[in-house]
Amino acid sequence: NKVLILHGPNLNLLGTRQPEIYGSETLNDINNALYEKAAVNGWDIKALQSNHEGVLIDAIHAARDDGTAAIVINPAAYTHTSVAILDALNAFEGKVIEVHLSNVHKRESFRHHSYVSLRADGVIAGLGSQGYLAALDAVIRAAERA
């Protein structure tokens, strides 16, 4: 059982990037917590961060036929702009969970619309790094029920 965790642009700066909005944990902290939770449950995780839209799209394509059961994605600013990431996710048949550290609905209006939400099976916003763990938990539980 395999999950792909995708982090979009600027999330490599977590920890020092607007910590009042995004928290003080680094991306490594978040990925480590996910690896740990996955391992305990016998799941494999691949985590990837990119500042480049096409790299994220290529990773989604690769997930179509390598046995990936689900994608947990924080598309960051591409959430609000990327029809291309939406199209790639539409070509992926597993579960998709969209995660945002901040509550995007409490922020500027341009953050209220998400292209990715048109595809996502679930959306989590505003729970900080806990949101990723909740997303992984949902993926694992759904697979157990299936």
Binds ligand DQA (CB under 6 A): choice among 10, 26, 51, 117: 10
Q: Which stretch binds ligand DQA (CB under 6 A): 35-43, 49-57, 72-80, 137-145?
A: 72-80
| C-beta closer to ligand DQA: residue 20 or 65 | 20
100 as an active site residue: the answer is yes
Calculate ∠ Cα 35-90-117, nearest 5°: 70
Q: Which of 7, 35, 61, 100 is catalytic?
A: 100
Instruction: Look at strands 68-74 and 2-7 and give their pairing.
Output: parallel
| C-beta closer to ligand DQA: residue 56 or 104 | 104
**Within 13 A of 68's CA, how many CA atoms are on the CB side?**
24
Contact (CB, 8 A) for 75 and 98: yes
| C-beta closer to ligand DQA: residue 33 or 143 | 33
Q: Which of 22, 78, 115, 132 is catalytic?
A: 22
Closest C-alpha to 72, from 143, 19, 137, 128: 137
111 lines the binding site for ligand DQA (CB under 6 A): yes
Return residues touching ligand DQA (CB under 6 A): 10, 74, 76-77, 79, 100-102, 104, 111
